[in-house]
Structure 1
Amino acid sequence: MRADVSMEATRSKQSVQHGREDHPASNARNATYPGGDTTPKGKACHGFVSLTVLKQERLKKAKAMAENAVKMHKVFSVQGPYSVVRAALRARGWVEQRMHCPTQTDHRRHSNESGACNNNADYSGNLEKDQDPDVLYDLMSRLVRNEMVYFYWTNSVDTINTKSLQKEQITNHFVKSESFTTKVGLCVNLRNLYWFDSADPDTFFPRCYRPGPQDEMPAFIADYRRTACTSFLKYIVEREQGVQRDGNSHNIRGVTKRRKLPSSPVILSQMINSALKVCHEFLESLEHRDIDMHSETPPTLTKEEWAEFINGYYLAVHEGVEIENSDRFVTCCKAMLQRLLEVSPQQDIDGIHNIWIIKPGAKSRGRGIKCARRLDRILSLVDCDQTLTTDSKWVVQKYLERPLLVHGTKFDIRQWFLVTAWNPLTVWFYKKCYVRFSTQPYSLHTLDSSVHLCNNSIQKHLIPSRERHRSIPVDNMWSDDQFKRFLSSQGREAQWQTVIVPGMKKALIHTVQTTQDLMESRKNSFELYGADFMLGQDLCPWLIEINSSPTMAPSTPVTARLCAAVQEDTLRIVLDWTADRTANTGDFELIYKQAAVNMPPYIGVNLLVNGCKIKPPCSLPPMRSPNNSAAKRHDPVKKQPKAEQVNPVPKLLSKSAQSQINYTSKGVTSLPPLPPVPAPVKIVSPNLPMTVTSIPLPISPTSNTVLLWKRKPKVSVEVQPRTSLPFSNSPDKQ
């Protein structure tokens, strides 16, 4: 006992020495357990304060807030360092049920990548620490640890089991969003846009191919060759016109080392003639004039001719070999380019270098992305991993060689948008965005990622170039207001609202339209996406990719302000506006709300079908020939059947016809009138267990007797036609 007291005194002394006198736990002396036991002093462990050191008032307050949160269905759970989301939910009266992560290292990994943390009822271990040191939240988190969570905000959809969620539970992810948040999914789905809208994806999305499937590899090679032809025509025109694109590093004459191509006009004219032929064939295919061509029509250029053309193109454009006597071809080249510009919306961004960007289909943050300008280099990059090629995990996309630059530096725009429902489709556009710069000046003479990739995850590890303009900050970011000021200095500020913003809205709407049928629509689900855009020299936006779970890390002063604002405004839409349509939506703007589809009235699951059983048909008994019937009638030896033994006329005849037939011991004496034309008689009687169709009446020109029915072999019914029939004779003449 004395040892315990001395140890506790030592702990108290150490607590005072370490400056813990002002901690709330150190002031709570002689606190009591709910059962009445007392202990000297407690201690705080991993952010959770033991119940023994809490004041009774604090405990009552925590219990009251926790009970009210459970009653109002306001228990939430957040995975990752989303302090803004936590603070906004707590301000609305929500109580957090903490997610457990094993170690601090794992927590950092999950905050950077999509990880999974499972709920743990045992909160005695290491738990994720919040920026708010108030122990009241820690206590309430323990009080609701076994309660149902009504709001989930996680890094990944795989963190929770969405199939087990109840209708009232809210989550910040949709299932199957990879249909447009991966590069492969975006490439494939935008090709189906014509089923949903009349827009052309080539007006906002650079053409893209999957080199894995066998049917897309030839299409990519054909596009590369055709682009080489148009690029060569541009090179001839711009070279003779002396076009200097110093700002975009497109200086054609600026190659330091040049070699002279042998001054043979045949080689140059042959290359231009081949390029014109390929472009003309492409125009005819767009106008559907090639459908009349025979299937066995030889290609425009043979394999050897293509190899010769591509080699000459590399020498002229890539290696800067000088070409002489090309001025006389400028007119025809310019005319062809003008025709192509009318039908090809990507003509301005293609440039002359034929650069393509190779991307892993499912990676993010710029990992594994490379640029290449030679066809053999592109094919070698794609074929380096057969597994990825087979699974179609690579995409090859046309690179924007002539983007809009800010002081000679490339940039892209990160734009947020929010989807709150897929049926009916509801899309919100955020009015704020930010601009990301590369650390090196833009140039097409080098294809290094430091020049052409603007991802912050790549550029933050690089040192900015000294040659870069001083107006671009060291952290490589601008807000949208700073970018609009730059446009104002260029006299183009009005185009932000007339060209850039409308173009981004249309691109996002068309993208989600193509994936609506692939998504699993769930009520009380939402998701915030981050889209990356580049601008052409005409300020038209080009969609590059769409990211799920966009980073909200405050890496720069710009992102610290904007990322916090977009999280708060997202909760305004999901929680406040959903409950009250007049609530403030922040900087979110509703840009698309699909019209509700009228469903047919529900009539239940009972389906009744009435019908009758169809009996199988049976054949008629064999009919006797007219000669045999006549012989039997004139046989004096054979007796005729008695009247009472004659079976009644079958129901094949109607009642009115039966009433006109007189039966005697010698046969039938009268018969109802028959139709004048001896055509086949079609008899259908639903009362008989058989079906008789097309029965001709056997008529003999000699006996003038018609046999209608035979019931038994021993009984025969002879019918003598009336004299009024046009085909019968009088019985007296027989």
Structure 2
Amino acid sequence: LPQQRHLPPAANRQKSSVPRLPPIHAASMRAAKALVEKAVKLKKVFTVVGPYPVIREELRARGWVERHLSSTAQRAHRCHGNELDCGDEGGLRAEIGYGGVKEERLDNLEALMSRMVRKETAHFFWTSRRDDIDCRLLQHDQVINHYANAAAFATKVGLCMNLRNLRWFDAADPDTFFPRCYRLGADDEKQAFIEDFRRTACTSLLQHVVEGSSHRRADAKEEQLHLPEGTDLSKHKLPFVNAGVIATALRVCQHYLGVLEHRDIDVTMETDGEVSWGAFLQDYYKVVHEGASVRGGGVFVERCQAMLHKLQEVCPQLGTDGLNNIWIIKPGAMSRGRGIVCKDRLDEILAVVDNDKSLNKEKKWVVQKYLERPLLVHGTKFDLRQWFLVTDWNPLTVWFYRECYLRFSTQPFSTKILDSSIHLCNNSIQKHFEPARNRHPAVPGDNMWSCSQFRAFLHQQGRSAEWDVVTVPGMQKAIIRALQTAQEQVEPRRGSFELYGADFMLGRDLRPWLLEINICPTMAQSSVVTAHLCPAVQIDTLRVVLDRRSDPSAHTGGFQLICRQGPVDVPYSLGVNLAVEGASLRPPRACRHNALVSLSHSDLSSQQLSLESSKVSESCQSGKERKSKK
């Protein structure tokens, strides 16, 4: 008898990563084999990384077969964190753990077909992180849902820097749709932010004088009416500051207008460097934050109104700046609201960077002006999540989704409290808070509205037409302009596409303000609204990306083409290397210097000898001539 192989005990035996499949009927086996052969022939093998059951279902309905990654690769994907690529709602971990998106269990037939194509080439990839697949190794006919170098516009730092170059791409001012933003880690931008904060304090003080003078007088009279008789009013008066603080603010604003009009080029103007900013900001804090009054400030109301009218013509964000000078500090490449804080004092804002001991600060922190006067729904702040799809970068081709949704805060809006539960509408932040008792009951308990619900609200306010005339065109223009400024930095790979999520806030005039653009927008079905919209946008994405390849007239669902540039020709290259190289001059060697010196001495000696010999010969010749004459 042949010698039997001794197997290790079952407890010490390693389990195979390939699951054992129960018996499958012969008819099902033949059908699966036929489907696999057809899919391989038509190049319909796909790989999905992440909890995307809608994508899997839609691809299978189109005759695609999935090639699964090994369990080891799946675990590595879940454990490897990347702040840029893992999505704005926590990537796989957040979507699996919250919001109703669960990992899909394969049936026996699907697992069998996956094993059949495990050695085949996948021609469609949908992943939640770009680094899951090395795009450099892909063939031209392989499709993936990511572009390389999208951080040029999909990070807070990238968007902040590239929008400054908008004037080279479009005749538009980024200050009309993107709140002012600075990198606190860069010294020049840090100084520019300090100047902006001081100037905003001046304009806020002027607005405070104009808007609050009558209210403060009425409040003071009402307060006196409620005091008991015989009360010493001097002890109950509010603190006050001198009216010189208003005069200083007017002088700074006037200087700023002069700089914008270039009047400081030929004429020496009084600069704001002469202002004692420490004392001014302390007085500003007392007036705006602590409720102090300005002694004799009433005489400045008309001058403040006139100055604000002039500033309104050159400062497009003056209407949203408000009174409190609030700025929002964000980590440069993080998502889901992590590390974001709101501050309204200059020293506290600068302390965030000054206390950071990291070496590379330029890309770590950005500070952006907070919109203190947004449009509110029943006294509650909200923001908009708007999807858009890029299918080509040369020519730039952008699709805008017709549906969006609103995300509400759990607390009523206030600029006096700088808590994240009030000012950050991100669902990954708000899900940790319970709705406040004093929040309006019409605000939904799951903190989300559909676009249709919001339009119904606007209709009740008599403003339904402004959505189509002001808001939607404004969002489309902002998205296109952000992409234009980053077009030269993103790798325009043929066969790639990417779905993005842009976040907007609306001003009281319904003008949209772009906050940020997110890679891998969440598809978590965390509310009734997202349970409908998230599957719909995934289905419509496949319609644009796959169905239109075989049928250009295919229905694109909710996507609308808003931009298709003309192709940009690549300049003809002659292969000439025009590089300029330089080399430093080397000092002469000491030995060569000595040799040259010795050589020069020998030459000099020979010249002297020849000169002396010539003199001797001349003297001899002259002597012979004298003898002959005698």
The alpha carbon displacement at 1:438 in A equals 0.6
The question of 1:75 aligning with 2:49 is answered no
The alpha carbon displacement at 1:210 in A equals 0.5
Gaps of 5+ in 2: 1-15, 88-100, 218-223, 225-234, 577-630
Number of residues paired by the alignment? 532
The question of 1:345 aligning with 2:323 is answered no
User: Does structure 1 conserve the Cα–Cα contact (< 8 Å) formed by 2:287 and 2:293?
Assistant: yes
Q: Secondary structure at the match of 1:58?
A: helix
The question of 1:261 aligning with 2:259 is answered no
Query: Could you tell me how far apart the structure 1 residues matched to 2:203 and 2:103 are?
Result: 58
Q: Secondary structure at the match of 2:392?
A: strand
Q: Secondary structure at the match of 1:475?
A: coil
User: Does structure 1 conserve the Cα–Cα contact (< 8 Å) formed by 2:395 and 2:564?
Assistant: yes
Query: Could you tell me how far apart the structure 1 residues matched to 2:260 and 2:212 are?
Result: 29
Q: Alignment RMSD, CA only?
A: 2.7
Query: Could you tell me how far apart the structure 2 residues matched to 1:214 and 1:606 are?
Result: 40
* 1:329 aligned partner, one-letter code: F
Query: Could you tell me how far apart the structure 2 residues matched to 1:569 and 1:279 are?
Result: 51
User: Does structure 1 conserve the Cα–Cα contact (< 8 Å) formed by 2:49 and 2:126?
Assistant: yes
2:404 is matched with which residue: 422, 425, 433? Answer: 433
The alpha carbon displacement at 1:49 in A equals 5.2
Q: Secondary structure at the match of 1:319?
A: coil
Query: Could you tell me how far apart the structure 2 residues matched to 1:359 and 1:338 are?
Result: 32
Cα separation, partners in 2 of 1:274 and 1:590, compared to 1, 3 Å: same
Once the two structures are superposed, the pairs formed by residues 539-558 of structure 1 within 5 Å of their partners are 539-558=510-529
The alpha carbon displacement at 1:534 in A equals 0.2
Q: Secondary structure at the match of 1:371?
A: strand
**Other-structure match for 1:588:** 559
User: Does structure 2 conserve the Cα–Cα contact (< 8 Å) formed by 1:109 and 1:115?
Assistant: no
Once the two structures are superposed, the pairs formed by residues 531-570 of structure 1 within 5 Å of their partners are 531-570=502-541
* 1:392 aligned partner, one-letter code: K
The alpha carbon displacement at 1:323 in A equals 2.7
**Other-structure match for 2:245:** 271
2:199 is matched with which residue: 223, 226, 231? Answer: 226
Q: Secondary structure at the match of 1:386?
A: coil
* 1:299 aligned partner, one-letter code: T
Provide Cα deviations, 1:358-406, integer angstroms capped at 9, x if missing partner: 0000100000000000000101112221316634310010000000000
**Other-structure match for 1:356:** 327
Q: Secondary structure at the match of 2:265?
A: helix
The alpha carbon displacement at 1:46 in A equals 9.1
**Rg larger in structure:** 1
* 1:353 aligned partner, one-letter code: N
**Other-structure match for 1:170:** 143
The question of 1:405 aligning with 2:379 is answered no
The alpha carbon displacement at 1:57 in A equals 1.1
**Other-structure match for 1:289:** 263
**Other-structure match for 1:637:** none
Query: Could you tell me how far apart the structure 2 residues matched to 1:559 and 1:217 are?
Result: 39
User: Does structure 2 conserve the Cα–Cα contact (< 8 Å) formed by 1:258 and 1:321?
Assistant: no
Q: Secondary structure at the match of 1:395?
A: strand
Query: Could you tell me how far apart the structure 2 residues matched to 1:523 and 1:547 are?
Result: 22
Query: Could you tell me how far apart the structure 2 residues matched to 1:523 and 1:243 are?
Result: 63
Query: Could you tell me how far apart the structure 1 residues matched to 2:150 and 2:451 are?
Result: 28
Query: Could you tell me how far apart the structure 2 residues matched to 1:288 and 1:53 are?
Result: 83
Query: Could you tell me how far apart the structure 1 residues matched to 2:17 and 2:32 are?
Result: 19
**Other-structure match for 2:157:** 184
Q: Percent identity?
A: 56
The question of 1:512 aligning with 2:483 is answered yes
* 2:550 aligned partner, one-letter code: A
2:188 is matched with which residue: 207, 210, 215? Answer: 215
1:414 is matched with which residue: 385, 393, 401? Answer: 385
The alpha carbon displacement at 1:455 in A equals 0.4
User: Does structure 1 conserve the Cα–Cα contact (< 8 Å) formed by 2:394 and 2:568?
Assistant: no
Query: Could you tell me how far apart the structure 1 residues matched to 2:54 and 2:24 are?
Result: 27
Q: Secondary structure at the match of 1:435?
A: strand
Provide Cα deviations, 1:104-145, integer angstroms capped at 9, x if missing partner: 9767667997569xxxxxxxxxxx996365321111000000
Query: Could you tell me how far apart the structure 2 residues matched to 1:468 and 1:524 are?
Result: 48
User: Does structure 2 conserve the Cα–Cα contact (< 8 Å) formed by 1:484 and 1:496?
Assistant: yes
Q: Secondary structure at the match of 2:385?
A: strand
**Other-structure match for 1:725:** none
Once the two structures are superposed, the pairs formed by residues 195-214 of structure 1 within 5 Å of their partners are 195-214=168-187
User: Does structure 2 conserve the Cα–Cα contact (< 8 Å) formed by 1:533 and 1:542?
Assistant: yes
* 1:302 aligned partner, one-letter code: E
User: Does structure 2 conserve the Cα–Cα contact (< 8 Å) formed by 1:101 and 1:107?
Assistant: no
* 2:132 aligned partner, one-letter code: T
TM-score by length of 2: 0.80
User: Does structure 1 conserve the Cα–Cα contact (< 8 Å) formed by 2:240 and 2:292?
Assistant: no
TM-score by length of 1: 0.69
* 1:87 aligned partner, one-letter code: E
Cα separation, partners in 2 of 1:465 and 1:129, compared to 1, 3 Å: closer
The alpha carbon displacement at 1:102 in A equals 3.5
Provide Cα deviations, 1:467-486, integer angstroms capped at 9, x if missing partner: 11111111100011111111
The alpha carbon displacement at 1:286 in A equals 1.3
Query: Could you tell me how far apart the structure 2 residues matched to 1:48 and 1:101 are?
Result: 10
Query: Could you tell me how far apart the structure 1 residues matched to 2:134 and 2:456 are?
Result: 46
User: Does structure 2 conserve the Cα–Cα contact (< 8 Å) formed by 1:274 and 1:301?
Assistant: no
User: Does structure 2 conserve the Cα–Cα contact (< 8 Å) formed by 1:81 and 1:111?
Assistant: no
Query: Could you tell me how far apart the structure 2 residues matched to 1:63 and 1:292 are?
Result: 83
The alpha carbon displacement at 1:325 in A equals 2.9
Query: Could you tell me how far apart the structure 1 residues matched to 2:312 and 2:360 are?
Result: 33
Provide Cα deviations, 1:523-546, integer angstroms capped at 9, x if missing partner: 000000000000001110000000
**Other-structure match for 1:718:** none
**Other-structure match for 1:151:** 124
Query: Could you tell me how far apart the structure 2 residues matched to 1:227 and 1:403 are?
Result: 17
The alpha carbon displacement at 1:209 in A equals 0.4
User: Does structure 1 conserve the Cα–Cα contact (< 8 Å) formed by 2:255 and 2:270?
Assistant: no
Once the two structures are superposed, the pairs formed by residues 376-415 of structure 1 within 5 Å of their partners are 376-387=347-358, 390-415=361-386
* 1:72 aligned partner, one-letter code: L
Provide Cα deviations, 1:501-554, integer angstroms capped at 9, x if missing partner: 000000000000000000110100000000000000111000000000011011
The question of 1:370 aligning with 2:348 is answered no
Once the two structures are superposed, the pairs formed by residues 31-110 of structure 1 within 5 Å of their partners are 48=19, 50=21, 53-102=23-72
Cα separation, partners in 2 of 1:111 and 1:176, compared to 1, 3 Å: closer
Provide Cα deviations, 1:299-324, integer angstroms capped at 9, x if missing partner: 32436x22221111111111001234
**Other-structure match for 1:579:** 550
Once the two structures are superposed, the pairs formed by residues 294-693 of structure 1 within 5 Å of their partners are 299-302=271-274, 305-387=276-358, 390-597=361-568
Query: Could you tell me how far apart the structure 2 residues matched to 1:415 and 1:501 are?
Result: 10
Cα separation, partners in 2 of 1:219 and 1:592, compared to 1, 3 Å: same
Q: Secondary structure at the match of 1:323?
A: strand
Query: Could you tell me how far apart the structure 2 residues matched to 1:213 and 1:606 are?
Result: 38
Gaps of 5+ in 1: 1-44, 117-127, 245-252, 608-734
**Other-structure match for 1:728:** none
**Other-structure match for 1:136:** 109
Query: Could you tell me how far apart the structure 2 residues matched to 1:130 and 1:91 are?
Result: 19
Cα separation, partners in 2 of 1:359 and 1:605, compared to 1, 3 Å: closer
Which structure is richer in relative contact order (CA contacts within 8 A, separation 6 or more)? 2
Cα separation, partners in 2 of 1:170 and 1:73, compared to 1, 3 Å: same
Query: Could you tell me how far apart the structure 2 residues matched to 1:513 and 1:262 are?
Result: 50
Provide Cα deviations, 1:570-615, integer angstroms capped at 9, x if missing partner: 0000001132210000000000000123567x7x9699xxxxxxxx
Query: Could you tell me how far apart the structure 2 residues matched to 1:541 and 1:129 are?
Result: 34
The alpha carbon displacement at 1:327 in A equals 1.8
Query: Could you tell me how far apart the structure 1 residues matched to 2:68 and 2:392 are?
Result: 27
User: Does structure 1 conserve the Cα–Cα contact (< 8 Å) formed by 2:328 and 2:342?
Assistant: yes
Cα separation, partners in 2 of 1:532 and 1:105, compared to 1, 3 Å: same
Q: Secondary structure at the match of 1:596?
A: coil
Cα separation, partners in 2 of 1:208 and 1:605, compared to 1, 3 Å: closer
